[in-house]
A and B are shown apart, each in its own frame.
Chain A
Amino acid sequence: MSENAKKPTKKKVELLPQFVNYRHVWVCIESERGEVHPVSWELLGEGRKLANALGVELCGVVICGPGERGKAICGEAFQYGADKCYLLQDDVLTDYRNEPYTKALTDLVNTYQPEILMLGASTLGRDLAGSVATTLGTGLVADCTELVIDTDTRNLASTRPTFGGSLLCTIMTQRHRPQMATVRPRVMAMPEAEAGRNGEIIEVAFSMIETSIITKVLEFIADDTRDKPNLPFADIIVAGGRGMKNQENFRHVWDLARVLGAEVGASRPVVQAGWAELDRQVGQSGKTVRPKLYIAAGISGAIQHRVGMDGADVIIAINIDANAPIFDFAHYGIVGNANTVLPALTEAFRSHLAQMKQTG
C-alpha cells in the first residue's frame, strides 16, 4: 500500500514446496490477426539469456485462432531463439478476449509449470498478465527494464523504474512460481533472427465453448495508421523540447527531420503546449524509442524523458545551457541556441547528402 512500508528485505526466502519442480523460461508470443507484436521477439532475445543462465529451455506460447498462421509464428519464434513452442488454436481464441485467453494461459502454466513467464507490457499483455497472475496467485512485476538471474537462488531479479523513473527498484518473487514480468516494447534489443534454426511444436487442445464466454467482440475498427507516427520503430528521430520556445520555431525540428527522413519526437511540455501530437511524446508516460540516431534540441534531459530514449545508439544534444543534464548522457553536445543551430544542421546535412549523391 505504501512504498515506505515496503522496506527492502535481504533475508533468504525458501520456495514453497509445491513449486520446486517448476522449470524453463516462457514468453507469451503476442499475435493479433496474424501479426506478431515485435515486443515478443525482443522478449525471446532476453529470455534466451535467462534460459542460458539457468540451463533450461526457452519456450514460446502461441495462442490464436485456427485460421491464423500459428505454425508459421512458431517457426519464427525458433529463429528468434525459442527451443519449443506451445501452440493453442481454437475458434474462441480468434480475437483477443480476456476470459478465454486467461484460461488458456493459466491451464498451460498449471500443466507444464514454467519457472518464468514473460509478456509484453502492451494493452494485450497487461490485460492478460494481470489476470493470469491473480488466477495463479503469483507475483507479477510490471514494466521491467532489466531482468537477471540471481545465481545463488535461481530467482529472477526484475528491475523497474519507480516514481516516474527517478529511482529504480529490484523486485523478486521468491516463494511462488512462475515468476511473472512484463516488459515495455523497445526496452530490450531486437535479437537477430537465425535462419534455419528449428524447434519442437507442441500442439495443445483447448476446450472452451463460445456459449460459455460472456464477452463478445462485435466489431474491430483498425486504426488508420497512414499518417500516424511510429516512433518506437523509427531509426532516426529529431526531437524538440520546451527550449524551442514556441510552435513557430518548432518547424526547425520538422525541417531537419525531413532532410534526414526522420520521425519527429517531443518532450512532454511540447505535447502539453500542443506543438506536437501525443503520439510523438518520448519518455516515461510516452513512447520508448531505440533509434540509431536521436537528436534532442532544447530538451533538458529530465529522467522521465531519458528513460524513453536512453537506448538510442547515438544521441546528439543541442542546449543553450552547458550544465543541462542531457549532456551527462548524450554522445555529442553543442552548447548553443537550437533555433540557429538546427537550421545550420539541416543545411549541413543537406549539402553533405547532396555531395554523397554526386560522388555516388
Chain B
Amino acid sequence: MHSVVCIKQVPDSAQIRVHPVTNTIMRQGVPAIINPYDLFALEEALRLKDQLGGTVTVITMGPPMAEAALRKCLSFGADDAILISDRAFAGSDTLATSYALSAAIRKIMEDMQVDLIFTGKQTIDGDTAQVGPGIAKRLDYQLLTYVSKVVEVNPQKKEILVERRAEGGVQLLKTSTPCLITMLEGTNEMRFGDLDDLFRAARHELKVWNREQAGIDEAEMVGLKGSPTVVSKVFAPKPRSKRAEMIEVHDGNPKDLAITLLAKVFTQHPKLEQEIAKRAL
C-alpha cells in the first residue's frame, strides 16, 4: 500500500492581523503551520499503513521554508517527503497547483505505484477545497471527497469502502484503487511521533524538486501563466454606514433597558413583532 499525502504549509490565521491603517496583512512573526485539515489526511494514511503495511509519502508545493512542514510529517511517521519548489510556481491558482502536484505524483509513480492519494478537506488560507478534485481529475483517479471514515481497504482486490459526508446524509461508497480521498476533519486524532521518528525526521534527506524535476516541461502550465483566475484587488470589508442605536436608561436597570429596547424595535419593525407573535404563541 503506497499512499501519497498532500499537505500545505499555511500561515496560522488565528494570529494574522490586518494593519488598521493600510489594510494590509501583517505577517511578520506569524508562524507557519501545517494546514490543520491535512493532519486528518496524514493520520488516516498512517493508520492504513499500521494496518496493511506499506509506505506513506508526503508532498507539498511551496517555498523552501515548507521543508519544516514536511519534517514535521516525517516525525509523525511518514516515510518519505518531497518538496516541489520553483519560482515558476509563484502565483499558481488551484488549477495550476493541481497541475503541478499531479505532475509530481506521476513522477513518484515512475518509482513506485501509488494506490491512494490523500488531501485535507480544504486549507485555512486559500480555503477553496478545489485542489483535491483537481488532482484526481488530472490523474484520472476516482474522487472521494469529504470522507468521514475509511471502512475497509482490500489491496488484493484493489477495493475500498468509505463513508462520505453528502448533503442530508452519509453515502457508503465502494470503489477501486487507485483513488483520491479528501479527508473530513475530526475523523481521527494525530498521533505523537515516537523518538525514532523524531531523529529520523531531522536526518532524512528530503527530495526537493524544481519544475523540470517535478516532470513539468511546459512552464506555461504553472504559476501566473497557468492560472485562469486573476486577483484584481484586495480590500477591507466596508464598515456598515451607521453604528448601532444605543439603548440607554438613566440607571442602567436591566428591566427598563429591555422594555425600552422592545418598544423601539417593535415601533421601527412592526412586521418583526407580528412574526415573533405568530411563532411564539
Contact B279 A167 (CB under 8 A): no
B235 in contact (CB, < 8 A): yes
A173 in contact (CB, < 8 A): yes
Contact B262 A217 (CB under 8 A): no
Cβ contacts under 8 Å, B137 to chain A: 102, 130-131, 134-135
Q: Mark B264-275, 1 if CB is under 8 A from A, else 0.
A: 111001001101
A126 to B244, CA, bound (A): 36
A356 to B275, CA, bound (A): 12
A129 to B133, CA, bound (A): 9
Contact B230 A174 (CB under 8 A): yes
Q: Which of A164, A222, A314, A347 is B169 in contact with, Cβ under 8 Å? A: A222
Total A-B pairs in contact (CB under 8 Å)?
298
A222 to B166, CA, bound (A): 9
Cβ contacts under 8 Å, B190 to chain A: none
B227 in contact (CB, < 8 A): yes
Contact B230 A216 (CB under 8 A): no
Give the residue among A123, A161, A236 with the most B Cβ atoms within 10 A: A123
Q: Mark B1-21, 1 if CB is under 8 A from A, else 0.
A: 000000000000100111000
A45 to B173, CA, bound (A): 34
Cβ contacts under 8 Å, B257 to chain A: 334, 336, 341, 344
Shortest CB–CB separation between residue B199 and chain A, in angstroms?
31
Contact B146 A35 (CB under 8 A): no
CB-CB under 8 A for A171 and B230, given A216-B174, A303-B237: yes
Q: Which of B125, B168, B258 is A163 in contact with, Cβ under 8 Å? A: B125
Cβ contacts under 8 Å, B13 to chain A: 163-164
Closest to B245 in A: A332
Stretch at the interface among B71-79, B110-118, B247-255: B247-255
Shortest CB–CB separation between residue B213 and chain A, in angstroms?
16
B97 in contact (CB, < 8 A): yes
Quick one: which of B141-200 are within 8 Å of A by CB? 142-146, 161, 165-176
Shortest CB–CB separation between residue A182 and chain B, in angstroms?
9
Contact B172 A98 (CB under 8 A): no
Quick one: which of B108-146 are within 8 Å of A by CB? 124-125, 127-134, 136-138, 142-146
A72 in contact (CB, < 8 A): no
Q: Which of A13, A259, A316 is B265 in contact with, Cβ under 8 Å? A: A316
Cβ contacts under 8 Å, B174 to chain A: 215-216, 218
Cβ contacts under 8 Å, A260 to chain B: 276, 279-280
Q: Which of B93, B131, B169 is A221 in contact with, Cβ under 8 Å? A: B169
Contact B228 A175 (CB under 8 A): yes
Shortest CB–CB separation between residue A352 and chain B, in angstroms?
6
Q: Which of B127, B146, B167, B255 is A347 in contact with, Cβ under 8 Å? A: B255
Q: Mark A321-349, 1 if CB is under 8 A from B, else 0.
A: 00000111111111111001101110111
Cβ contacts under 8 Å, A111 to chain B: none
Cβ contacts under 8 Å, A332 to chain B: 244-247, 261, 264-265
A65 in contact (CB, < 8 A): no
Contact B269 A314 (CB under 8 A): yes
Contact A333 B173 (CB under 8 A): no
A292 in contact (CB, < 8 A): yes
A214 in contact (CB, < 8 A): yes
Query: What DSSP secondary structure best describes chain B's contact surface?
Result: mixed
Contact A138 B167 (CB under 8 A): no
Cβ contacts under 8 Å, B272 to chain A: 292-293, 313-314
A248 in contact (CB, < 8 A): no
A217 to B144, CA, bound (A): 12
Stretch at the interface among A1-9, A46-54, A85-93, A201-209: A1-9
Contact A164 B16 (CB under 8 A): yes
Q: Mark A248-267, 1 if CB is under 8 A from B, else 0.
A: 00000000000111000000
Q: Which of B91, B134, B234 is A1 in contact with, Cβ under 8 Å? A: B91
Give the residue among B94, B236, B276 with the most A Cβ atoms within 10 A: B276
Quick one: which of B191-234 are within 8 Å of A by CB? 224, 227-234
Q: Mark A301-314, 1 if CB is under 8 A from B, else 0.
A: 00100110000011
Shortest CB–CB separation between residue B106 and chain A, in angstroms?
15
Closest to B228 in A: A139
CB-CB under 8 A for A220 and B145, given A6-B231, A332-B247, A344-B257: no
Cβ contacts under 8 Å, A349 to chain B: 262, 276, 280
CB-CB under 8 A for A220 and B247, given A137-B228, A142-B130: no
Shortest CB–CB separation between residue B166 and chain A, in angstroms?
6
Shortest CB–CB separation between residue B29 and chain A, in angstroms?
16
A345 to B198, CA, bound (A): 56
Shortest CB–CB separation between residue A294 and chain B, in angstroms?
11
A349 to B259, CA, bound (A): 8
A25 to B246, CA, bound (A): 44
9 more contacts with CB within 8 A, not counting A133-B95, A174-B230, A352-B266, are A9-B231, A140-B94, A166-B25, A168-B235, A225-B168, A235-B279, A292-B275, A333-B246, A348-B262
Chain A residues in the interface with B (C-beta under 8 A): 1-3, 5-10, 13, 30, 32-33, 35, 37, 95-96, 98-99, 102, 122-124, 126-127, 129-131, 133-135, 137-143, 157, 161-176, 214-223, 225, 235-236, 259-261, 292-293, 303, 306-307, 313-317, 326-337, 340-341, 343-345, 347-349, 352-353, 356-357
A–B complex contacts, Cβ < 8 Å, 19 sampled = A1-B89, A2-B63, A2-B90, A2-B91, A8-B232, A130-B132, A130-B137, A167-B25, A170-B234, A218-B161, A222-B169, A261-B276, A313-B272, A316-B261, A332-B245, A341-B258, A348-B261, A348-B262, A349-B276
